[in-house]
Amino acid sequence: MRGAPASRIAGLGRHAPARRVENAELEAMLGLDAGWIARRTGIQARRYAAPGEALTDMALPAAAQALEAAGVKTEDVGLLLLATSTPDHLLPPSAPLLAHRLGLARAGGVDLAGACSGFLYALTLADGLVRTRGRPVLVVAANILSRRINPEDRSSAVLFADAAGAALLVPSDTADAGLVGAHLTGDGAHYGLIHIPAGGSRRPYAPDISAQDLLMTMPDGRAVFTLAVEMMTDSARRAMEEAGVDAAAITRFVPHQANTRIFEAVRKALGLAPESVVSTIAEFGNSSAATIPFSLAASAEARPLERGERVLMTAVGAGLTGGAVVYAVP
């Protein structure tokens, strides 16, 4: 099958659950002073999935919106990549079920566990597949992190939320557009900085496993902050260098919505204009891999992407995994 010189984002979608949880509710539950969460994170509220709502239930409307916006026939989509840390089940993967529910009869589907960087990994892989195979690829990032919150670990409990975002990549004949720069990185030396201690093959579930060990923990928030700023900044610089652009050329900066202090530090280190920042963290919190496509979709709703724009996206997540891409709007 004929490939293509480049890929382009033909459609975006996003979805957040209806239940809105304000800081006051968490501050009361965790014994925190009023305003503690907003001062440290920039978050005012977040969304939690309804009881019984599965990941694929939440991902479905975001994916469907991207498909509809692109106007691509379901039978033309070649692959669905689902970036998530909270699949419906440990086995089987959730992507084939999501593809089935979307009516993607001829598409493959696979989950990618890249933590908060998962969307950027999936987007980069999708770009390569579109270029080599010449078929559209649907990238979805979704998480239901409210069910992994550890109330005894307030550093992480105040951050996480539930949401989904999606982007459909299609072949493009514009060779100097699409993903013009990308840098993916990792640092396994800091593997345990953000983790769920039990439930995997190293510590499988057993009757004597504490319920706390099946929930999120972040034992050293200061180290996470420092490393996140360093890795996001370095990845972004490398992606911009590959794309041949400087800070002045970046029209939208869409960082992982981890913490406003983190992405403001990255913005300043890169010399990006304050008005370039795309942020949804105040209202929607941190939904891990979903934050970048969710925020990009929200930004495009408010102001459609225009030809010639340069969009910088960067993230760091558990593992540590990280990366950045520069997308040139064709």
Question: Could you give the residue numbers annotated as active site?
Answer: 116, 256, 286
Rg (CA), the chain: 19
Look up residue 26 and give its two tokens.
Answer: 């968490």
Contacts of 253 (CB under 8 A, 6+ apart): 263, 267, 270, 272, 276, 277, 278, 311, 312
- Nearest-CA neighbor of 234 among 265, 259, 266? 266
Sheet containing 310-317: give its strands across. Answer: 178-186, 321-328, 310-317, 252-255
Phi, psi of 285 (to 5 degrees): 65, -155
Sign of torsion, CA 13 19 24 25?
negative
- Nearest-CA neighbor of 296 among 261, 260, 262, 252? 252
C-beta of residue 87 within 8 angstroms of C-beta of residue 94 = yes
10 Å CB burial of residue 52 (0-12, 13-18, 19+) is exposed
Q: Which amino acid is at 96?
A: P
Reported as type and span, the H/E element at residue 198 is none
Alpha-carbon gap, residue 281 to 254, rounded angstroms? 11
Per-residue b/e over 187-206, b at no fewer than 16 CB within 10 Å?
A: eeebeebbebbbeeeeeeee
